[in-house]
Amino acid sequence: MERTLIIVKPDGVQRALVGEIIKRFEARGLRIAGMKLMQIPRETAEKHYAEHKGKPFYEGTVAFMTSAPVIVLCLEGPDAVAAARATMGATNPLNAPAGTIRGDLGINISRNLVHGADKPETAVRELALYFTEDELLSYERAADKWLKE
What CATH number is associated with residue 111?
3.30.70.141
Q: Is residue 128 part of a domain?
A: yes
The verdict on residue 45 lying in a domain is yes
Give the domain range for residue 75. Answer: 2-140
115 is catalytic: yes
Q: Is residue 146 part of a domain?
A: no
Helix then strand count (H, E) for the chain reads: 7, 4
* DSSP state, residue 149: -
- 120 close to 81: Cβ distance less than 8 angstroms: yes
Number of independent structural domains in the chain: 1
What tens digit of pLDDT does each residue of 51-88 get?
999 999 999 999 999 999 999 999 999 999 999 999 99
- Asked whether residue 62 is assigned to any structural domain, the reply reads yes
Give the active site residue among 9, 24, 31, 115.
115
- Sheet architecture: strand order including 114-116: 31-38, 70-77, 2-8, 114-116
- The whole-number pLDDT of residue 147 equals 76
Torsion of CA 90, 24, 117, 61, to 10 degrees: 70
The answer to whether residue 145 sits within a structural domain is: no
In a domain, 112, yes or no: yes
| pTM score of the predicted model | 0.95
What does the pLDDT look like over 123-148, one tens digit per residue? 999 999 999 999 999 998 888 888 77
3-state secondary structure of 41: coil
Long-range contacts of 47-53 (CB under 8 A, 24+ apart): 47/129, 48/126, 48/129
Instruction: Return the pLDDT at 36.
Output: 98
